[in-house]
Amino acid sequence: VLAAWQRPYLNIFKHFRVEEWKRSAKEGDVVALTDTRLKGTVYRIRGSNPASNYLQLPRAGTQSLGLTGRYLYLLFRPLPHKHFLVHLDVTTEENQVVRISFSNLFKEFKSTATWLQFPFVCGAANEGTAQRGATGAAPADVRWTCLVLDLPSILALYLSRRYSHLRGVKLCSNMLVKNLCTSDLLFEPGVTFSKAGLGDLSCRGVAPVPRELAFPVPKGQKWHDLYDYIRFPSEGAKLPHDSIRKSFPSPVAVLEEPGRPLTQPVTLSRAVCDRLALVRQIASLKAVSAPW
C-alpha cells in the first residue's frame, strides 16, 4: 500500500530536489538545460564512459529511496547516435537487492539471481529510418519517450520474486531526462479526465497524465504523433519479453482515435480480469438475494 506522501504519485525529481544536489549525486558531464520544446528544465547526461557520467538517486549507495509505487515512469530521450544506460536497484520482500538495467548497448537479455539486463530498442520519428527490433545507437530523430516499468511484474516474471520497493536509480550517459515518477496508477497519454470518466477507466487504475509529468502537445496535434510511449512488460503479448521496445502499433494510440470505444485498448491481466469477474458475481448474487 502506498504511503500517504507517495499518493497519488511521487514526482521524484521534485520531491528530492534534484537541482540542489544534496539528496542526489552527479558525476561527470551532467548539466541542467532549459528545453524550449518541453517548456521546462531537463538534465543532459553525456560522456563516452557511462560509469563516470551519471545522475544518481539517492546520493549515497547505502541509502534507499523507499518508493513503493508499482509503476516507475521515466521521461527521457536518448542522445542521437549514442548509447545510454540506466540502472534501477529494487528490493524484494525477502530483502534481496536486484539490479534492473536497460541499455541500447545490450545485444541480448541476460539474467542472474540479482541482475536483469534488458536491451532497449530506440524508436525513430520515421520508423523507416530504424530497423525494427534492432538494438544499437539511437537514431538521429529519436523521440522523447515515456517509459513505464511495471516493477512488480518484472520481478515476478523473470525472477519469481515479490517486489517491495525502489531503492535507487542511476541514469548514465547518453541521455536527456525530464523527470522520474512512481505511482500505483497507470497514466495513459492522450486520455483526458472526461475520456477517463466516459470510458470508466478510472476504476481500472488508468488515469490521465498529471500536468507536471506531461509532454506538451500543440493545438491540433496528437501525443502519439510526437512522442513514444513504452510500457514494459506490455500486457496482451507473449511473455516474457527479451527487450524493451515500442509496440507496433502503440496499444494506447487508439485512445486518441475518434469514434473508437475507450474500453477497447485497455488490456487487463488475467488476474485482474478474474478479480473483476468475481466482484460482478458477488454483486449479482447480492442482487438476487436482496429482499424486495
The cell for 223 is 501525443
pLDDT at position 70 over 70: yes
Average pLDDT score, the chain: 83
Of 105 and 191, which is predicted with more confidence?
Answer: 105
Assign domain 9-124+135-185+212-232 to its CATH architecture: Sandwich (2.60)
pLDDT at position 195 over 60: no
CA distance 127 to 121: 12
CA distance 205 to 159: 25
What percentage of the chain reaches a pLDDT higher than 90? 65
pLDDT at position 168 over 90: yes
CA distance 275 to 250: 26
Segment of 102-106, 204-208, 233-237 carrying the highest mean pLDDT: 102-106
For the segment 142-165, the average pLDDT, to the nearest whole number, is 97
